[in-house]
Amino acid sequence: LTSLPNRAALLARLEIALAGGVIPRSVVLLMLDLCRFKEVNDTLGHNVGDSVLCEVARRFQSTIGPEGFIARIGGDEFTIVLDSAADDETLARLSQSLADSLRVPIDVGGISIEVGVSVGIARNPQDAPDAQTLLRHADIAMYVAKRRGTPFEHYDPAHDQNTVRRLAIGGELRAAIGGNQLALHFQPQVNLRTGLCESAEALLRWTHPTLGTIAPDEFIAVAESTDLIRPLTEWTLRGALAQIRAWRERGVHVRIAVNLSARVLQDVAFPSRLNDLLVSAGVSASSLELEITESAMMVDPVRALRVIQEIDKLGVLISIDDFGTGYSSLGYLRDLPVHALKLDKSFVMGMRSNTDDRIIVESTAQLAHGLRLELVAEGVESEWDAQFLAAAGYDFAQGYEFSRALPADACFSWIVEFNATAMLAVNDLSPAPHESGRHLASDIEAARSLRRG
């Protein structure tokens, strides 16, 4: 297809090199895996995918020149063999150049297609004594780069344990989705204007019978690198929608927010499945909020925008999570049908001691309100934080000042008690503000003085 050597030719080349033939005894192996290629095949067909592979091969060959040996060893996997004289700086430049070679979209029949690449690097003899081990270690390094979102990574023996654990988690996660190991916890969000809890964020928790508690960042990353992200997302949405209905039937009306991954934003069939879930649950679309990150949007902005627009048509609310940490232009705020920004907690947690963070917090409020967007602050851990944010004009706050994420029943009880206390305070029936910081709207002038200080 690409006219490049195949896996057998690569192994033969490596065996000759490592045996000390005409090629230097020590070599460097680069493993390259395309990002988003599966979606090209799934949505546009294998003919388009084949055309993309041919163009990628041409660009890679042009980038490495005559010094390197390049082969295609799988569907969207390529390898490059280099003279071991290449130092780390040279390898870094080459890896970045390979990534840069794909920055210009590939045109196939008038369709503009964007793909990326993750590169793993392994050396002989430092990282592996033979060809098969060298391939495996370069492959491990490549998956580390893919997981971290970096252009390239060098092999590190510590990666082996992580890879074994990731494989174990991937195998167990499929069973967990169909079993009773997963649970949703809910972290309340407080309206800084009314003092009431009107929404909550759904957060996944996994307790494995032998591996114990597995951090969300760890198992969600595994899901995103496999096809498990789709069933995991739908499991989460079903649980969140069921909770909205259950709480509504008990007299508590709150909006629940669920995080969406970058891969789900590239799935053009997702809005239709989401609509089916809403209909099945029998809840209002506006009671569900989907949080997306700036970086997730940038994987394929055109496709993500199309998916988001279809979600918006359903009446589901959309917010930008971790706002301020992405690398994209603010121009997308003009085009996206979002209703809220959620400022990243790093700015909130630093604003008391860092003037720059404080300026960012206040400037974001001006930006959001100028665009008629709601503004949420996460990482609120003190009464000072809550008062400052209320004075700055933030609409909602979330963090340990109010509550950690709680199991569903505990969160329900917390919301009922919190809102009852807040209503008493509003009606001047409460003799004193609650010690947990629920009097955050009490002295705005004092908060303003804190801001000035």
**Statement to judge: residues 58 and 116 lie in one domain:** yes
Residue 1 lies in a domain: no
* Total residues belonging to the chain: 453
**Statement to judge: residues 173 and 85 lie in one domain:** no
**Statement to judge: residues 356 and 381 lie in one domain:** yes
Looking at 156, 186, 205, the residue that finishes a domain is 156
pLDDT tens digits along 313-327 = 999 999 999 898 765
Tokens found for residue 132: 């098969």
Residue 432 lies in a domain: yes
CATH code: domain of residue 91: 3.30.70.270
**Statement to judge: residues 214 and 335 lie in one domain:** yes
The tens-digit pLDDT sequence of the chain (453 residues) is 888 999 889 988 888 877 754 444 578 999 999 988 887 887 788 899 999 999 999 999 999 988 789 999 988 999 999 876 678 888 999 999 999 999 999 999 888 888 999 999 999 888 888 888 899 899 989 988 887 888 899 998 876 666 677 778 888 999 999 888 999 999 999 999 999 999 999 999 999 988 889 989 889 888 887 789 999 999 999 999 999 999 999 999 999 999 998 889 988 999 999 999 999 999 999 999 999 987 777 767 888 899 999 999 999 999 999 898 765 457 778 888 999 999 999 999 999 999 999 999 999 999 999 999 999 999 999 999 999 999 999 999 999 999 999 999 999 999 999 999 988 876 654 444 444 444 444 433 333 344 344
Residue 265 lies in a domain: yes
Residue 162 lies in a domain: no
**Statement to judge: residues 217 and 307 lie in one domain:** yes
Which residues have C-beta within 8 Å of that of residue 277, sequence separation ≥ 6? 234, 237, 238, 241
- Quote the number of domains for the chain: 2
**Statement to judge: residues 32 and 176 lie in one domain:** no
**Statement to judge: residues 287 and 426 lie in one domain:** yes
Question: With a threshold of 0.75, does the pTM exceed it?
Answer: no
Q: Longest Cα pair distance anywhere in the chain, in angstroms?
A: 90
Looking at 156, 180, 205, the residue that finishes a domain is 156
**Statement to judge: residues 123 and 254 lie in one domain:** no
**Statement to judge: residues 412 and 434 lie in one domain:** yes
pLDDT tens digits along 72-95 = 998 899 999 987 667 888 899 999
Residue 302 lies in a domain: yes
Helix axes 355-370, 383-392, angle to 10 degrees: 40
Distance CA 208, CA 218 (A): 13
**Statement to judge: residues 328 and 393 lie in one domain:** yes
Query: In DSSP terms, which residues pair with 153 in a beta bridge?
Result: 120
Residue 2 lies in a domain: no
Tokens found for residue 354: 């860092």
Looking at 102, 127, 156, the residue that finishes a domain is 156
Query: In DSSP terms, which residues pair with 80 in a beta bridge?
Result: 30, 70
Residue 377 lies in a domain: yes
**Statement to judge: residues 256 and 391 lie in one domain:** yes
pLDDT tens digits along 187-218 = 999 999 999 999 999 999 999 988 889 989 88
Contact 104, 35 (CB under 8 A): no
Q: Which helix (H) or strand (E) holds 234?
A: helix 229-249
**Statement to judge: residues 268 and 354 lie in one domain:** yes
SS3 291: strand
Beta strands in 269-356 (DSSP E): 288-293, 317-323, 340-343
Residue 366 lies in a domain: yes
Distance CA 64, CA 57 (A): 11
Print the domain residue range for 16.
Answer: 7-156
CATH code: domain of residue 299: 3.20.20.450
